[in-house]
Amino acid sequence: MRTVDLIAKKRNGHEHTKEEIDFLIAGFTKGIIPDYQLSAWAMAVYFQGMNAEETAYLTMAMVHSGDSIQPDAIPGMNVDKHSTGGVGDTTTLVLGPLVAAAGVSVAKMSGRGLGHTGGTIDKLEAISGFQVEMSQAQFYQQIKEIGIAVIGQSGEMTPADKKLYALRDVTATVESIPLIAASIMSKKIASGAKAIVLDVKTGKGAFMKTLADAIELARAMVEIGTLTGRHTVAIISDMDQPLGEAVGNANEVAEAVRTLKGQGPADLTQLCLELGANMVLLGGQATDIQTAKEILRTCIADGSALAKLQQLVEAQGGDPAFIQDLEKLPQPKQIIPIHSHADGYIAEIQAEEIGLTAMLLGAGRETKDAKIDHSVGVNVYAKVGNRVKQGEILAELLVNASDTERLDEAKNRVNRAFRIQSEHVPQSKLIYAIVDANGVRYFNEA
């Protein structure tokens, strides 16, 4: 097989065999196929696309490029959840303990990565003493004992995806649905998922700006799941404004605790119930979505979801005192309110600007080795469609830095993120559709 022939084949719109895709990915991972050839191939895929079988072959070739966990090594029906990114998402912090309390095993393995805020393991490290390093044997043992464990990625998972993503990033080939779908699914499958619930975000703050693109990406991932034997369901949800109130690390942990007590923001709670109910269904703990939601509501009302968080924290060396007293989480030196400059209705909250502000204040990593300040971030209290009065608090900056230039930029960014108008604005929709092996179902409620 010659790489140049495979590039020409895709350029001319033909389909690859499994052997051809394995050849390309194995050769590229080992450094036998040079970057320029794989770049040309990625561009051919960008223009010609790939069918579901080719996309599934690519996914599994990337899984096999490095270390992976066999699904059967994990006790119970391990249902993984993935969000395609967004600002201040917080759902994983809520869903882990919530669905574990409902009897679904949660084996969460995540990297740190770059972003507006830390990843799930960074957020958990806002809890004093919390450890994310443990052996695989300890990881499985803890899942067997309490049904949930969260660890940092060990070994080298999906090196082909890392290498290909870096190449796509500099060759204008990121925005290809089959390449994105294979990239996301390869990481879920390598970390041992038996079934997968995806939260595909759409809107200005999301990777997929339009509903049509989000649905297309969701379909591609569901098809990969079907072809590789992992039951997969995708919820399409809004990222036109930040989810919940907190964007940061310690403040998101506090928000997760409030949500597990039944006192969380309405949008975060609704999305967690929808995603969680699908996890409970795939995990075999209920046979219909309404029963699954009832189970989760009971876990919140009877305190078992919160008790599961306490068990997780204690099992991983953390001090659970914050669960009773949220002030025990890292606190910023200063809280700066952002006031509405006018009477009117919130027409827009640019999630991206809020996320960048949180990063500017130190909540996320701009470079791989940057340190996260767990105490800082942004809290957003207003939602699109809310009526506000001049002077009302829309948001708060949680601040440690004394750098006034940075602070001024942060204030300006958050101010700019809000657009207020005098005409009435309807509330935005939270959940647009659900995509599974049977197709797309659109949601009608707001």
Using CB under 5 A as the criterion, which residues of the chain lie in contact with Ca ion when the complex forms?
88, 90, 244, 246
CB-nearer residue toward ligand URA: 184 or 268: 184
Q: Under the criterion CB under 6 A, does residue 180 sit at the interface with ligand URA?
A: yes
Classify strands 246-248 and 377-380 as parallel, antiparallel or unpaired.
antiparallel
Q: Under the criterion CB under 6 A, does residue 183 sit at the interface with ligand URA?
A: yes
Task: Kindly state the smallest distance separating residue 219's Cβ from ligand URA, in Å.
Answer: 16
Stretch that binds ligand URA, among 120-128, 176-184, 241-249, 286-294 (CB under 6 A): 176-184
The token pair that represents 412 in the structure block? 């300006």
Report how far residue 284's alpha carbon sits from residue 77's, in angstroms, rounded to the nearest whole number. 8
Task: Kindly state the smallest distance separating residue 157's Cβ from ligand URA, in Å.
Answer: 12
Report how far residue 363's alpha carbon sits from residue 353's, in angstroms, rounded to the nearest whole number. 14
411 included as an active-site residue: no
Which option in Ca ion, ligand URA, none does residue 90 bind, with CB closer than 5 to 8 A by kind? Ca ion
Query: Contact, 217 vs 49, CB < 8 A?
Result: no
CB-nearer residue toward Ca ion: 55 or 90: 90
Crossing angle of helices 52-63 and 177-190, rounded to 10°: 40
Residue of 65, 68, 105, 183 marked active site: 183
Q: Which of 118, 115, 94, 114 is nearest to 106 (CA)?
A: 94
Residue with tokens 């009773």: 324
CB burial readout 230-259, b (16+ within 10 A) else e: bbbbbbbbbbbbbbbbbbbbbbbbbbbbbb
Report how far residue 82's alpha carbon sits from residue 109's, in angstroms, rounded to the nearest whole number. 11
Residue of 16, 82, 188, 201 marked active site: 82
The site that binds ligand URA (CB under 6 A) totals a number of residues, namely 6
Report how far residue 255's alpha carbon sits from residue 362's, in angstroms, rounded to the nearest whole number. 19
161 included as an active-site residue: yes
Classify strands 195-202 and 79-83 as parallel, antiparallel or unpaired.
parallel
From the list 184, 220, 323, 338, which residue makes contact with ligand URA (rule: CB under 6 A)? 184
176 included as an active-site residue: no
Task: Kindly state the smallest distance separating residue 243's Cβ from Ca ion, in Å.
Answer: 5
CB-nearer residue toward ligand URA: 60 or 384: 60
Q: Which of 302, 254, 313 is nearest to 128 (CA)?
A: 313
Residue of 161, 199, 238, 267 marked active site: 161
- The footprint of ligand URA on residues 153-172 (CB under 6 A) is 165
Which option in Ca ion, ligand URA, none does residue 55 bind, with CB closer than 5 to 8 A by kind? none
Q: Which of 107, 29, 27 is nearest to 73 (CA)?
A: 107
Identify the helix (H) or strand (E) that includes residue 440. strand 439-442
Stretch that binds ligand URA, among 17-25, 56-64, 177-185, 337-345 (CB under 6 A): 177-185
Report how far residue 75's alpha carbon sits from residue 56's, in angstroms, rounded to the nearest whole number. 26
Which option in Ca ion, ligand URA, none does residue 88 bind, with CB closer than 5 to 8 A by kind? Ca ion
- The footprint of ligand URA on residues 207-246 (CB under 6 A) is 207
Residue of 168, 188, 194, 230 marked active site: 168
Measured CA distances, 344 to 119, 242, 247, 415, 443 (Å): 35, 20, 24, 15, 29
Task: Kindly state the smallest distance separating residue 81's Cβ from Ca ion, in Å.
Answer: 16
CB-nearer residue toward Ca ion: 280 or 358: 358
Stretch that binds ligand URA, among 127-135, 179-187, 329-337, 398-406 (CB under 6 A): 179-187
Which option in Ca ion, ligand URA, none does residue 192 bind, with CB closer than 5 to 8 A by kind? none
Task: Kindly state the smallest distance separating residue 85's Cβ from ligand URA, in Å.
Answer: 7
Query: Contact, 419 vs 346, CB < 8 A?
Result: yes
199 included as an active-site residue: no
Query: Contact, 429 vs 370, CB < 8 A?
Result: no
CB-nearer residue toward ligand URA: 19 or 156: 156
82 included as an active-site residue: yes
Kindly list the residues in this chain that would bind ligand URA in the complex (CB under 6 A): 165, 179-180, 183-184, 207
The residues carrying an active-site annotation are 82, 161, 168, 183, 187
